[in-house]
A and B are shown apart, each in its own frame.
Chain A
């Protein structure tokens, strides 16, 4: 038997009894607003967290060596240490480095393509590495050449000048010289501190700066230097699976190799990434929890309202059954009622979602919501609504038609 959908009568009945329906529609709208924006923020944060630093994070760690005593000779100890580390089985390569990518602390500077203090500059992170830097950091020189031993110099404390050459990331090359192919940047001169020339001798594929929230995260320069300092940091890349063993082993080895120093802060790059992105992951967890809770509360609200309506309308449902409604027709009635309430809430939610996103853009400089989040949110909330109403609707359908003849 063909049954007419009761769209009109349901709408009219809802308008006469609107408080519960309006509250649920508002709850759906609010849920959609928060859930869609939260998902967008989560996806954005996840994308940030998934950015590659460019180094072999899984197999790398670093440690700090701090010497003390009048007879401490930094250059000799550093050379000895690097020699010991590089010759340890399981180590691929090691360098002394001034900063660790994505760790939160490091050096930055400004580069210009012409001398003079009125030139537009580009900011970059600066890493001091020797000729082993490329191998230790697992970078690839995609144009030009790697440093050679003769390029490397010792940087004394507070030394103001810079080496004659440097390698830069492809991203930095494109920022500095946007009008020429990045490969052509090799051989170009850039200027540090307005007028100190440095020739770009190589371009590496990718190396992130230490600051994950920095807008110029992909800008990095490798300077061919080793630092004369009592406190120094070694970056070590190991064979796959050897990292954890070598962390303990090299800590002991270095401590035993030279007595007047402390080996501290033995840390994996994986831990560093986790620490640096902790705020992001916390935000994702909080937003996910809020989303799940809100969706559950909305679903429970729908279940509650429908259950209340089913109990309140038991006699009506029995009467409808007596008048010829099949069980399916009763289920369909409640599902359709929910479609009307949900659609109202969802449409209001679309406007509120866009409104909240506009406010977030204005207040927190967030990016605009991608259009497809809105239809996706609409579908999700629609499905949640229909699933939530199904249980009470089936309960309603089980109402016996004989209830219609009961007078109490």
Chain B
């Protein structure tokens, strides 16, 4: 599904050169629910950005669902992002001037679906997160947990091969975080591969695999053993 081989990412300014990822190697299989943990500044977000084709890398090879993305143009990367990846952001990133329906519609329009197809997908995905009855509401009229559910609906509407979640519960209280996590697990059980960046070891323990990142590399000995995996062992 996702394979990174010796990925390096170096940020350069006139004065400073910072290596965010160093010989980063990771393979994620289809159906995995992978949590990425690590301290602040360890390279988690850089990994997420590269995995989500939001950023390019300095060297190495990244194959996403069979496509080597190294030499893709910006337009091709946008296309691939739209078709294969669903994003869930920490601060939801809903567009405040658009109602829920139009928010979920955003990636579908870039996909070029017909109006009927978009309507079907929007309705289905909002139903899936339990917000179909509020599709004309603006994001500001919803709670944080509901907004994150809309973001999940937006990510799911395009039926992506995998979801990238950046601290999806970071801005939510524990009750809402629990419900969002439950929703993500349900989505994963239905076959969608999920990569989730989180600070929260408790959440990481609920995934099928954990990757601990420190200083731009995977730190094998710090890797958590998720609950499901531990019980199998």
* Interface set of A (CB-CB < 8 Å, partner B): 1-4, 6, 8-9, 12-13, 16-17, 315-316, 319-329, 400-402, 404-405, 407
* Interface set of B (CB-CB < 8 Å, partner A): 45, 48-49, 52-55, 74-75, 78-79, 81-83, 87, 89-91, 93, 95, 97-99, 102, 105-107, 109-113, 115, 118, 138, 154, 158, 166-167, 170
A16 vs chain B, min Cβ distance (A): 5
A4 partner, pick from B53, B78, B109, beta carbons under 8 A: B109
List chain A residues, Cβ under 8 A from B49.
Answer: 402, 405
| Chain A facing B: main interface SS | helix
Inter-chain residue pair count (beta carbon < 8 A) = 103
Asked if B98 and A9 sit within 8 Å, CB to CB, the answer is yes
Given A6-B109, A324-B82: A400 and B54 interface contact (C-beta under 8 Å): yes
Give the residue name and chain of the A residue nearest to B81 (CB): A324
Asked if A323 and B102 sit within 8 Å, CB to CB, the answer is no
CA distance A217 to B50 in the complex (A): 79
A-B contact sample (10 more), CB < 8 A, given A1-B110, A323-B107, A407-B167:
A1-B82, A1-B111, A2-B112, A3-B110, A315-B93, A320-B110, A321-B54, A321-B78, A323-B110, A401-B54
Asked if B98 and A405 sit within 8 Å, CB to CB, the answer is no
B141 vs chain A, min Cβ distance (A): 12
List chain A residues, Cβ under 8 A from B45.
Answer: 405
List chain A residues, Cβ under 8 A from B166.
Answer: 405
CA distance A319 to B111 in the complex (A): 15
Asked if A402 and B106 sit within 8 Å, CB to CB, the answer is no
Give the residue name and chain of the B residue nearest to A16 (CB): B97
Given A324-B110, A405-B49: A319 and B89 interface contact (C-beta under 8 Å): yes
Asked if A324 and B97 sit within 8 Å, CB to CB, the answer is no
Give the residue name and chain of the A residue nearest to B197 (CB): A405
List chain B residues, Cβ under 8 A from A319.
Answer: 89, 93, 95
B81 partner, pick from A12, A316, A323, A407, beta carbons under 8 A: A323
Give the residue name and chain of the A residue nearest to B112 (CB): A2
B79 partner, pick from A1, A17, A327, A402, beta carbons under 8 A: A1
List chain A residues, Cβ under 8 A from B95.
Answer: 13, 316, 319-320
B78 partner, pick from A9, A13, A17, A324, beta carbons under 8 A: A324
Subset of 14 A-B contacts with CB under 8 Å: A1-B110, A3-B109, A322-B93, A323-B110, A324-B79, A325-B110, A327-B75, A327-B78, A401-B53, A401-B55, A401-B78, A405-B48, A407-B91, A407-B170
Asked if B54 and A13 sit within 8 Å, CB to CB, the answer is no
Give the residue name and chain of the A residue nearest to B55 (CB): A402
Given A320-B106, A324-B107: A402 and B78 interface contact (C-beta under 8 Å): no
List chain A residues, Cβ under 8 A from B111.
Answer: 1, 324
Give the residue name and chain of the B residue nearest to A326 (CB): B78
CA distance A4 to B48 in the complex (A): 28
B172 vs chain A, min Cβ distance (A): 14
The 10 closest A-B pairs by CB, nearest first: A324-B82, A2-B112, A13-B97, A324-B110, A323-B107, A4-B109, A402-B54, A319-B93, A326-B78, A401-B54
CA distance A405 to B43 in the complex (A): 13
Asked if B89 and A9 sit within 8 Å, CB to CB, the answer is no
List chain A residues, Cβ under 8 A from B91.
Answer: 407
A9 partner, pick from B105, B138, B158, beta carbons under 8 A: B105
